[in-house]
Amino acid sequence: MGNKFLELNGNRGMKRIVLIIMSVLLAQNILGQEFSSFYIDFMLRPEQQGSKVKFPLRVGESTIRNSRSYKPFLLTNPNDFMIVCSDSLSHSVSTNESWTALYSYHTKQLIKQQFIKSGKQWKLSQYKTEPYSTMYQKEFVDFLAQFSINKEFQINHTIFPLPVTRPNPKEKKKLLLPRDWEHLSFAKIYPQIVFLHPDRDANNRKIYIYQMGRLTQVFNFIRINKQWYLIEKYEK
pLDDT of residue 49: 97
* Rounded-to-integer distance, Cα 228 and Cα 95, Å: 29
pLDDT of residue 90: 67
pLDDT of residue 12: 58
Cβ contact 112:127 at 8 Å: yes
Count CB neighbours of 216 within 10 A: 14
* Rounded-to-integer distance, Cα 57 and Cα 63, Å: 5
* Rounded-to-integer distance, Cα 32 and Cα 98, Å: 10
Ordered alpha helix ranges (H), 159-231? 186-189
Residue among 47, 55, 92 at smallest CA distance from 194: 92
Residue among 206, 234, 235 at smallest CA distance from 221: 206
The three-state secondary structure class of 219 is strand
| pLDDT 10s digits, 86-141 | 877 765 555 789 999 999 998 999 999 999 998 889 999 999 999 999 898 999 99
Residue among 180, 166, 203, 187 at smallest CA distance from 80: 187
Cβ contact 114:53 at 8 Å: no
In the predicted structure, residue 151 carries a pLDDT above the cut 90: yes
* Rounded-to-integer distance, Cα 57 and Cα 74, Å: 17
Cβ contact 137:204 at 8 Å: no
Count CB neighbours of 62 within 10 A: 8
Q: Output the average pLDDT for the chain.
A: 86
In the predicted structure, residue 57 carries a pLDDT above the cut 90: yes
- Which range scores top for mean pLDDT: 11-20, 27-36, 78-87, 227-236? 227-236
* Rounded-to-integer distance, Cα 127 and Cα 130, Å: 10
Predicted structure pTM score: 0.82
pLDDT of residue 91: 59
Chain centroid to CA 63: how far? 27
pLDDT of residue 16: 55
pLDDT of residue 120: 85
- Please name the residues in contact with 205: beta carbons below 8 A apart, sequence gap of 6 or more: 84, 85, 86, 140, 220, 221, 228
The three-state secondary structure class of 123 is strand
- pLDDT-derived band at 170 (thresholds 50, 70, 90) equals confident
